[in-house]
Structure 1
Amino acid sequence: MEYKDYYKTLEVSKTATKDEIKKSYKKLARKYHPDVNPGNHEAEEKFKAISEAYEVLGDDEKRKKYDQLGADWKRYEQAGGGAGGFDWSQYAGAGGPGGGRYTHFEGDFGGGDFSDFFSSIFGGMGGGGARSQGGRRSSMAFKGQDLSAELQMPLEEAFRGGSKTLTVNGKNLRINIKPGVADGQTIRLKGQGGPGMNGAENGDLYITFRINPNPKYTRKGDDLFLDVPVSIYKAALGGEEIVDTLSGKIKIKIQPETQNGKMLRLKGKGFPVYNHPGQHGDLYIKTILHLPEKLTEKEKELFRQLVELRPN
């Protein structure tokens, strides 16, 4: 009969605490649960092995007996499986190897028979203190699996917010997005993840936003940066410029003798501050001087006259 390493099955060390064992069991049981893996025989067998391992390591009395057996198992094998010098009676629950009966596991997830190894050691002890008065092991509730998804959107939608529909696990889910959401920001939708087991609550859905780059705007936090071309005439003499922003068209003043690359700050015209209605960052406008093209002879002559007046 093959020795079963329950610690390896539950992916914990031999010095693991009871809480660590329970945490690992719940993680693995959820992963290999038959409801999560319908028709998957390999997952079903893995689930049974995990349940059996926890039946032992999750019970102080059984774990102590199992640890003692592990120390003596090599001697038992060398003794030919019970012959000469190995006192099996201190371990066997019902008369030694092969003498114990299978213990039917009416457990957390529908049950299944324990292995010969388990039955040989613990016999009818399966379930122990975890069983209810009716002899069935009480069900353990598992919160549903948390899910994650990504949602892409243009900068304009992140600015405005609004409703968006995405499909998660074949289910269409409509969510309301607050204005000002940032690239890489993650929100949690409680109860929108995987279904809970044995009456437990559903898992949560975590949505990460991916904001597509915008060719006109650069966003830094809640501030926006925008390049605006300005003619050299308007830059020299001053005037007004109409600028398209995410919140609509605005008119800005260009001061006389505005230099190329000058930065203008428009307070409160930037990106909405997430979760703070009415608050906005600032909009920074960088003036980019635009040189005229295809000059006429008359225009060239006027420029020559200007050069003569201002040679430097």
Structure 2
Amino acid sequence: MKFIDYYKILEIDRTASEKDIKKAYRRLARKYHPDLNPDNKEAEIKFKEINEANEVLSDVENRKKYDKYGKDWKHGEAFEKAKQQQQSQQNQNYSGSSDHYSEQDFSSFFESMFGGKKTRSKQYYRQFKGQDFNAELHLNLKDVYTSHKQILTVNGTNIRLTIPAGIADGQIIKIKGKGAQGINDGPNGDLYIKFTITNHTKFKRDGNNLYTSVDLDLYTALLGGEITIDTFNGKVKLKIAPETTQGAKVKLKGKGFPIYKKESLFGDLIITYNIKIPTKLTVKEKELFNQLKKLRSNG
């Protein structure tokens, strides 16, 4: 197994303090974090190395073993035990010998004791959630009046999603696990979709309610009657009360927009009446209006 210099990875001296190690780790982790280096494989590898180095050097006991045994620091205890057993069996005295062994000495001894088969234990890496993705979806108001399915392509991946009726302009929904892949078996990131909804209809939407205006001729406004108007999903007949005034409002319950994730429930449609004053009157019409004026004045 190739020797990895954890001190070099963290860009610190071998005499560095615990505070120095923590400071170096934080600085480098921020620099090479996947969220700041999307689709950068070199940064991802560097980030893993930094975490591995920190896991070893930030632990006092692990650091001691690493300083003494190098790349085989994880097997330090096994080495000491095997060395003692061999010394006991061979009944040899190592006068003047040192407890410190070089990287080559330790590796050779370890291989001789365990049949030359050094097994690399699985390295422990800190798990990190994958990067979150952000997308924007443009729809028309009519598109979100009913629930429908749509395929969204994000970073080359097709994602099939159901868009609930009643979703609002500017609303953001989260699709769990559809972001970037996690690091070291960490969870995947999430996908955040922002909806931009354009309105090309004559209805104004405010929450779950819809607003529109309807023109009334003067005669219907004064005498009352029945008209047919457009709602968002069809036409309805509407009775007009006599002497309806300019700007009068009427509410059609349940004729508004569907409530988000409650498609069977709807807001209301609020109608404002706009009375149209007749123009280009004929001579006869003017005469009749003058008669009406006199009647009102005398009354």
- TM-score, normalising length from structure 2? 0.65
CA distance in 2, matches of 1:54, 1:199: 14
Unaligned runs of 5+ in 1: 8-13, 39-43, 67-89, 95-99, 105-122, 125-131
Residues in 2 aligned to 1:284 and 1:207: alpha-carbon distance in whole angstroms: 31
Counterpart-to-counterpart distance in 2, 1:293 and 1:142: 73
Q: Which has the higher helix share?
A: 2
Aligned residue in 1 for 2:34: 30
Change (3 A) 1:210 1:17: farther
Question: Are 2:258 and 1:279 aligned?
Answer: no
**In the aligned structure 2, how far is the partner of 1:5 from the partner of 1:134?**
22
Where does residue 291 of structure 1 map in the other structure?
277
Instruction: Return closer, same or farther for 1:197/1:53 CA change in 2, 3 Å cut-off.
Output: closer
Which of 216, 222, 236 is equivalent to 2:208? 222
1:255 corresponds to 2:241: yes
Q: Report the Cα offset of residue 214 of structure 1.
A: 4.0
Structure 2, gaps ≥5 residues long: 1-6, 13-18, 73-101, 104-117
The alpha-carbon distance between structure 1 residues 171 and 5, as it changes in their structure 2 partners (threshold 3 A), is: closer
Q: 1:64 to 1:200 in 2, by over 3 A?
A: closer
CA 1:64–1:231 in 2, change beyond 3 Å: closer, same or farther?
farther
Deviation at 1:156, TM superposition (A): 1.5
1:155 pairs, out of 135, 141, 148, with 141
Cα contact 2:203–2:212 (8 A) shared by 1: yes
Question: Is it true that 1:238 corresponds to 2:242 in the alignment?
Answer: no
Report the alpha carbon displacement of residue 30 of structure 1 after superposing the two structures with TM. Answer: 2.3
- Give the deviation of 1:164 after TM superposition: 2.5
Task: Sort the Cα spacing of 1:227 and 1:49 in 2 relative to 1 into closer, same or farther, 3 A.
Answer: same
Instruction: Give the 3 Å change call, closer, same or farther, for CA 37–56 of structure 1 in structure 2.
Output: closer
Moved more, 279-288 or 208-217: 208-217
**1:99-144 Cα distance to aligned partner (Å, 9 max, x none):** x98x69xxxxxxxxxxxxxxxxxx97xxxxxxx9624523554433
SS of aligned partner of 1:292: coil
Seen in structure 2, the aligned counterparts of structure 1 residues 181 and 15 have a Cα distance that, compared at 3 Å, is farther
Q: Which residue of 2 aligns with 1:172?
A: 158
Contact 1:232 1:291 in 2 (8 A): yes
Matches within 5 A, 1:64-83: none
After TM superposition, the score normalised by the length of structure 1 is 0.63
Equivalent residues of 2:152, 2:160 under 8 A apart: yes
Task: Name the SS of the counterpart of 1:303 in structure 2.
Answer: helix
Distance 2:275 2:268 in 1: 22
- Kindly tell me: are residues 225 and 27 of structure 1, through their superposed partners in 2, closer, same or farther at Cα, counting changes over 3 Å? farther
The ranges of structure 1 where at least 4 consecutive aligned residues each deviate by more than 6 angstroms after the TM superposition are 2-7, 15-18, 63-66
Name 1:203's counterpart in structure 2.
189
Q: Which has the higher contact order (CA 8 A, sep 6+)?
A: 2
Q: How many residues align?
A: 240
Deviations 1:182-241 (A, max 9, x none): 112121222222233444443221111112134521222111111111111100000112
Mark the structure with the bigger radius of gyration.
2
Deviation at residue 65 of structure 1 after TM alignment: 11
Task: Tell me if structure 1 keeps the 8 A contact 2:51–2:126.
Answer: no
Q: Hey, what does 1:185 align to over in structure 2?
A: 171
Q: CA, structure 1 residues 305+174, in 2 after alignment: closer, same or farther (shift >3 Å)? A: farther
Which amino acid in structure 1 is aligned with residue 215 of structure 2? P
Seen in structure 2, the aligned counterparts of structure 1 residues 245 and 279 have a Cα distance that, compared at 3 Å, is same
